Copies of this chain bind each other. A is one copy, B any other.
């Protein structure tokens, strides 16, 4: 049983340790709205899926476990957001929670998943605990990622048209983008497949795939900055 003294000579006994939890804001694009996956809370407010860290487990594995159990989700990539450490944040006791972000295409979520829409960077509905703040951080992180790379969360399939990509970006950033400027901004991050989209009513659009090349810093600034 581990027991030692820290550099001040204070004995660190086991019963003084906090519980460590993880909570995950899973963002998705539902139609033309950004939304966050929630689970029913104990009261009226929904909450983010989460769990306690098991002995020897890594945080991302705990987050993975929580999503597998509560949402039937597998192979999700996580990003750490922030450790929420208010000693009074959980009525059950001293629980630190590491907030995580993930982004998953709608069709990989269960059809009956509970989704709360995002409006102006926040969940439209009040969530349990400090989960509202977690959602805000997750949205900000998603936007930063989308400003730097083309659809890194793969909300779209392997190939897509510039129009589909622009609609996606308008959903993620909650604003519109001019079509010609947008095209020039993202073109560096795209690779033309040669194939054409089969649509009706107009000239067929070129199908692109992600090239993996980061978007130029000018594009990053244009996306991340507010409409104007």
Interface residue ranges, A against B (CB under 8 Å): 1-2, 4, 6-8, 10, 12, 14-20, 51-59, 69-70, 80, 82-83, 85-87, 92-94, 96, 98, 217-218, 220-221, 224-225
Contacts and interface: CB of A to CB of B under 8 A. Distances in A.
A94 B59 contact: no
Contact of A86 (B54, B58, B70, B85): B58
User: What's the number of copies of this chain in the assembled complex?
Assistant: 2
Nearest to A57: B87
Given A7-B70, A10-B52, A56-B94, 12 more contacts: A2-B93, A2-B94, A6-B51, A8-B69, A17-B20, A20-B96, A55-B94, A56-B87, A57-B87, A58-B87, A80-B83, A83-B83
A181 to B, nearest CB: 15
Contacts of A98: 83
A17 B62 CA distance: 14
